[in-house]
């Protein structure tokens, strides 16, 4: 059965917002004022990032997404030498102060009942602060809604009964967490670890790792909802992240990507 014909899942997505601005050009000379390259821009492309990129990838699986995000938009300017597809500089705009904290209000049980899962994409910019995360995840746990978290926080005690997707470096920097957490630790080209088992992946030529974590997270959620077991979701997330890094810029999975890589899974 085609994945577009399966049950329609509903997901609540909460997280930070940004735009990835790609400046394409070339460096053909050194500045006479300082020993630095002079960048000549030829084109520019803007893509959504952070939780907005997670949303697009969730929707690529046919998932219906309610998205709550910050009003302020961080911009990440990446300067790319288009001859070699190499990043030469990144400049971040709009990070002088924390963005305004999310006003969560009091979601009614009737509204929460419609969600099959909740995804928290927390880049620690201020929209999702400690007490907000604790209140939200406690509420979702009470209603037995699975929660998937991708976070830059070091104190993870605010994420109650959550599945935490985290990269290797962030995992090493954790300062506090609750007892018996469910960690899915991504290892780049070495795959991912869940409950002590290393799920390997097929190495790909890497063009850009930007947004690969968002693709992994969205696929992990889909895989869990479709298979009902994280052990089966992690290999699928590995496959999709490997597709992502083979493209320049924040990537959104296409139906062709999903059909080609997951046909044996999604037809069940």
The CATH architecture assigned to 11-30+37-266 reads 3-Layer(aba) Sandwich (3.40)
The full set of domain ranges for the chain reads 11-30+37-266
pLDDT digits (tens, 9 = 90+) for 16-31: 989 999 999 999 999 9
> Is the model's pLDDT at 202 over the cut of 80?
no
**Is the whole-model pTM more than 0.85?**
yes
Distance of alpha carbon 252 from alpha carbon 49, whole angstroms = 10
Distance of alpha carbon 27 from alpha carbon 88, whole angstroms = 9
Question: Between 101 and 225, where is the model more confident?
Answer: 225
Contacts of 223 (CB under 8 A, 6+ apart): 230, 232, 233, 234, 236, 237, 265
Q: What is the DSSP letter of 4?
A: G
Element (H, E) at 47: strand 37-50
**CA neighbor of 266 nearest in space, from 202, 221, 222:** 222
Question: Between 110 and 37, where is the model more confident?
Answer: 37
Please give the mean pLDDT across all residues of the chain.
Answer: 88
Does residue 122 contact residue 133 with C-beta atoms inside 8 Å? yes
Distance of alpha carbon 96 from alpha carbon 94, whole angstroms = 6
Amino acid 70: pLDDT: 87
> Is the model's pLDDT at 113 over the cut of 80?
yes
Given pLDDT bands bounded at 50, 70 and 90, which one contains residue 2?
A: very low
């Amino acid at each position: 059965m085609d994945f577009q014909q399966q049950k329609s899942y509903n997901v609540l997505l909460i997280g930070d917002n940004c735009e990835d601005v790609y400046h394409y050009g070339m460096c053909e000379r050194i500045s006479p004022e300082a020993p630095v390259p002079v960048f000549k821009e030829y084109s520019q492309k803007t893509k959504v990032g952070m939780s907005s990129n997670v949303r697009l990838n969730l929707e690529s699986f046919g998932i219906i997404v309610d998205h709550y995000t910050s009003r302020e938009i961080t911009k990440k300017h990446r300067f790319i030498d288009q001859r070699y597809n190499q990043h030469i500089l990144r400049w971040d705009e709009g990070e002088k102060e924390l963005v305004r904290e999310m006003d969560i209000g009091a979601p009614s049980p009737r509204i929460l009942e419609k969600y099959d899962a909740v995804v928290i994409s927390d880049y620690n910019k201020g929209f999702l602060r400690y007490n907000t995360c604790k209140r939200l995840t406690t509420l979702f746990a009470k209603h037995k809604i699975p929660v998937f978290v991708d976070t830059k926080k070091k104190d993870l005690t605010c994420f109650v009964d959550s599945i935490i997707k985290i990269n290797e470096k962030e995992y090493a920097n954790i300062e506090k967490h609750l007892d018996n957490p469910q960690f899915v630790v991504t290892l780049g080209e070495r795959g991912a670890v869940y409950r002590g088992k290393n799920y390997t992946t097929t190495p790909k030529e890497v063009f850009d790792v930007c947004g690969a974590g968002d693709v992994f997270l969205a696929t992990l959620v889909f895989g869990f909802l479709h298979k009902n077991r994280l052990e089966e979701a992690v290999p699928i997330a590995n496959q999709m992240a490997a597709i992502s890094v083979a493209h320049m810029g924040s990537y959104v999975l296409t139906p062709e990507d999903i059909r080609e890589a997951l046909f044996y899974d999604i037809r069940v």
